[in-house]
Amino acid sequence: MNVHVNSGETLRAALAGLLDGLPPRQAAAAVDRLIANYRGATPTDAPILRDRADVAAYAAYRMPATFGAVTAALDAFADTVPDWTPATHVDIGGGTGAATWAVSATWEGQRPVTVLDWAEPALALGREIAEGNPALRDARWQRTRIAAGLRVESADLVTVSYVLGELTEEVRTALVDAAASAAQAVVVVEPGTPDGYARVLAARERLVSAGFRIAAPCPHSGGCPIVPGSDWCHFSARVSRSSLHRQVKGGSLAYEDEKYAYVAATRFASDPAPARIVRKPQIRKGQVLLDLCEQDGQLARTTVTKRHGDLYKASRDANWGDAWPRTV
């Protein structure tokens, strides 16, 4: 956990100076416009981040949340492969590099890292920020068109975070297939919305079809038990808010909860959770209600009571997204 805290603090410190000289109203206006573009329903065939002002404003606003969500997803994945550490990492559509920071926070040490993105201003700023992270000082920031026909160099780990929503369905498919061809492990993270979950689910299906096994969050590699349109699988990461966050959102809280959906898949053996808590635990007098996705591919609600002893104590400390042992 200390690695996470230190990396997060280092990232926030690196981001703090990005907006020097940029009037707060201009930064807020840039963020508002960029958020509108990212939330739009029409995928783009050109980079959304156009210049350094765009990138600086959006990085200061969004990188901490992306880092928090990707770190949470990688934590859950790492728990299923405790003896594995990626020797190489490629981040597709990595922009300013939030996922590379998350990988370095999850697995200590240096490794060859390549960030692929089509927006040169984002890559340039990512390179600048990474100077503050020893694990990323030798990373390659490579301008690459994220399009059909994408080729990705072989790597132990390929991450794809917060990028599929910018692409057409054809390019999404090509990107996931390219990642599957190159990687031993693939982690895809998207916003925790119904649309984001649908993109993750589509990626999950292609990875399974390519011979991958699901390591997290699912305890199984079968079909998702959620009835399409009835619900969606997502989780939450608590993220400290910057002053720009508070200015743009008009909020006073020092934190916000970033909702995200993800899948981690491997070509090698992993030890998926016996079950995964897929909703916020409901704590009642003398009992805790847990909504679980289980190894048999089903959703189930279990009630843990005081008679379960230590398991009951553990349930009161359990969080949404945690692995969970089967009750007895």
- 255-264 per-position pLDDT tens digit: 789 999 999 9
**Topology of domain 2-266, CATH:** Rossmann fold (3.40.50)
Under the phi-then-psi rule, with left for phi > 0, alpha for psi from -120 to 50, and beta for the rest, what region is 86?
Answer: beta
Average pLDDT over the chain reads 88
| Residue 328: band (very low, low, confident or very high) from pLDDT cuts 50, 70, 90 | very low
Name the most confidently modeled range: 17-26, 220-229, 247-256: 220-229
| Sequence spans of domains, the chain | 2-266, 275-324
pLDDT at 327: 41
Q: Kindly report which listed range (13-22, 92-101, 215-224, 285-294) carries the lowest average pLDDT score.
A: 13-22
- Between CA 23 and CA 29 the distance in angstroms is 10
92-134 pLDDT, tens digit per residue, is 999 999 999 999 999 999 999 999 999 898 899 999 999 989 9
pLDDT at 58: 79
pLDDT at 44: 52
pTM: 0.89
